[in-house]
Amino acid sequence: MTARPRRGAAESGADERDDAAFAAFVEARLPHLLKLGRALAGDEQRGADLVQDALERTLLRWRRVDDPEAFVRRAMVNRSVSVWRKVRRERPLTERGDADSGGSERPFDHELLAAVRRLPPRQRAVIALRYYEDLTEAQTAEALGCSIGTVKSQANRAMAALRVQLPTFADREEMS
């Protein structure tokens, strides 16, 4: 059994700074990442799993990550796509209200979230990245590993499906 080399004071100080920087990043961004995870996965628990997995991957590479936000987002999307491929098709989720959401959402946001949950996974990811994360088409394409044209077509199909599912929602948005 070989002994691990002992770390020098400078190296352990750098590790502490890295740990503190990572902890600060997680503390600042966790609520936002959980909402993105919920939007990507269509479910609060699976969304939290996406976030946890992405943060674990980020921590392992923390010193080499230039843009932690983009890295975590990409890791979440990649993990979500992996799940799509494993399952091959998604089982319908039970509809439930998010009573613990803090009440900051408008009343019809629950209708919208339920409609987004019914979208196919790829369309749901495009909607989450384009409209929730406010990424450009190019950034969304990069995050999903597809072309800009695919992002445009998936967004168009998703919006058409949402308009069919929520005809009164479009009217409400125009009034506000």
pTM over cut 0.85: no
Strands (E), 4-50: none
Distance CA 168, CA 173 (A): 9
110 is written with which tokens? Answer: 């629950």
**Sequence spans of domains, the chain:** 15-88, 106-176
C-alpha span between 123 and 115 (Å, rounded):
12
Fold of 15-88: Rna Polymerase Sigma Factor; Chain: A (1.10.1740)
Please tell me the predicted confidence (pLDDT) of residue 2: 42
pLDDT at 141 over 60: yes
Lowest mean per-residue pLDDT among 28-37, 38-47, 96-105, 112-121: 96-105
> What is the rounded distance in angstroms from the CA atom of residue 32 to the CA atom of residue 11?
32
The two tokens of residue 114 are 């339920």
Cβ neighbours of residue 134 closer than 8 Å, sequence gap 6 or more: none
Task: Name the 3-class secondary structure at 43.
Answer: coil
| pLDDT value of residue 123 | 92
How confident is residue 149, by pLDDT bands cut at 50, 70 and 90? Answer: very high
Question: pLDDT for 81-134, tens place per residue?
Answer: 776 555 555 455 554 444 444 444 455 577 888 888 889 989 999 999 998 888
Distance between CA atoms of 108 and 142, rounded to whole angstroms?
31
Could you tell me which residues come within 8 angstroms of residue 51 by beta carbon, excluding any fewer than 6 positions away? 30, 33, 34, 36, 37, 72, 76
Fold classification of 106-176 is Arc Repressor Mutant, subunit A (1.10.10)
Instruction: Give the chain's mean pLDDT.
Output: 79
Give pLDDT tens digits for 49-69: 999 999 999 999 999 999 999
